[in-house]
């Protein structure tokens, strides 16, 4: 089976007017065309799940302070490819210019857009791995975090925490399909983490088990959340709307 080590994620909002037209174009025209490009293996489109529990660490989280960074997050469009380089050949600006006018007009409707190109550096399969799909497509429910260490010297410690603590805890976690630890090619996000769950209930179990202690500075998660600064709204909890679960 082909390996999908490249992840292209786009967070954005849409105006209510014309939303249905945009979604029809995206799901029936844009995504199928994109999947014909060399290296592209799958696509998934998610909508923010507003019923999810708020992060216990929200009060102590730091967020990236960049006026030029889009703050959208109602939708997350994710593509998977063999390599992150598949997304930058051709270069993103050249790709946009080569779209036909209708596609450029639809993409221009996105508000607060921000993008990151990631390379997977590690993954773990959970007990519900058989529920990933169709094919390599991520699970029906995700939590997607994108952030950077306040001090770059912390990056190695961060990697050690994921290997020995967080990812290891997911192998036997009820409702967990898996998780992918990501590193970006550059820009506002250095790190990414894509958690996959069978449902909102599975994500809530994860929250209660692993993230509810974030306010406690003596816990590993309590120390980690204070060492990073997140992108707007990170982590995003979202439900897949294409392909339909």
pLDDT over threshold 80, residue 54: no
Q: What number is the average pLDDT over the span 52-63?
A: 67
Q: How far is CA 61 from the centre of its chain?
A: 18
Assign 3-state DSSP to the chain and report helix, strand, coil percentages, each to 5. 30, 30, 40
Q: What is the pTM for the complete model shown?
A: 0.93
Lowest mean pLDDT: which of 52-66, 70-84, 159-173? 52-66
The owner of tokens 């967020």 is: 63
Instruction: Name the residue among 11, 68, 80, 74 with its Cα closest to residue 40.
Output: 80
pLDDT over threshold 70, residue 171: yes
User: Secondary structure of 122-137 in the HEC alphabet?
Assistant: EEEECCCHHHCCCCCC
pLDDT over threshold 80, residue 69: yes
Q: How confident is the model at residue 50 (pLDDT cuts 50, 70, 90)?
A: confident
Q: Which domains does the chain have, with CATH numbers?
A: 6-239 (3.30.70.100)
Q: What number is the average pLDDT over the span 171-195?
A: 95
pLDDT over threshold 70, residue 78: yes
| Contact status, residue 83 vs residue 5, Cβ threshold 8 Å | yes
Distance CA 201, CA 204 (A): 5
The pair of structure tokens assigned to 113 is 């857009």
Residues of the chain with pLDDT > 70, as a percent, come to 93
Calculate the average pLDDT of the chain: 91
Distance CA 81, CA 222 (A): 33
The pair of structure tokens assigned to 48 is 């923010």
pLDDT at 55: 56
pLDDT at 105: 98
| Contact status, residue 145 vs residue 230, Cβ threshold 8 Å | yes
Name the 3-class secondary structure at 57: coil
- Torsion, Cα 140 209 10 130, to 10 degrees, reads -30
| Contact status, residue 130 vs residue 175, Cβ threshold 8 Å | no
pLDDT over threshold 60, residue 37: yes
pLDDT at 223: 84
Lowest mean pLDDT: which of 89-93, 150-154, 220-224? 220-224
- Torsion, Cα 184 86 178 9, to 10 degrees, reads 60
Angle at 147 between CA 140 and CA 242, to 5 degrees: 20
Q: How confident is the model at residue 205 (pLDDT cuts 50, 70, 90)?
A: confident
Q: What number is the average pLDDT over the span 210-225?
A: 74
User: Which H/E stretch holds residue 32?
Assistant: helix 31-34
């Amino acid at each position: 089976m082909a390996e999908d080590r490249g992840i292209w994620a786009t967070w954005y909002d849409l105006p209510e007017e014309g939303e249905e037209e945009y979604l029809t174009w995206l799901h029936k025209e844009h995504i199928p065309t994109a999947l014909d490009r060399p290296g592209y293996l799958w696509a998934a489109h998610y909508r923010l799940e507003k019923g999810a529990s708020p992060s216990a660490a929200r009060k102590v989280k730091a967020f990236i302070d960049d006026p030029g960074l889009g703050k959208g997050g109602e939708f997350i469009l994710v593509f998977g490819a063999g390599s992150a380089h598949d997304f930058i050949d051709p270069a993103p600006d050249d790709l946009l210019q080569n779209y036909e006018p209708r596609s450029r007009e639809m993409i221009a409707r996105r508000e607060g857009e921000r993008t990151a190109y990631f390379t997977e550096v590690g993954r773990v399969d959970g007990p519900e791995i058989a529920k990933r799909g169709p094919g390599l497509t991520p699970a029906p429910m995700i939590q997607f975090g994108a952030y950077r260490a306040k001090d770059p010297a912390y990056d190695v410690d961060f990697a050690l925490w994921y290997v020995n603590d967080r990812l290891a805890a997911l192998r036997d976690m009820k409702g967990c399909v898996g998780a992918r630890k990501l590193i970006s090619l550059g820009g506002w996000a250095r790190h990414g983490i894509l958690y996959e769950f069978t449902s909102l209930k599975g994500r809530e179990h994860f929250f209660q088990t692993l993230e509810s202690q974030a306010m406690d500075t003596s816990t590993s998660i309590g120390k980690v959340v204070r060492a990073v600064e997140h992108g707007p709204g990170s982590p995003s909890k979202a439900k897949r709307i294409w392909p339909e679960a």
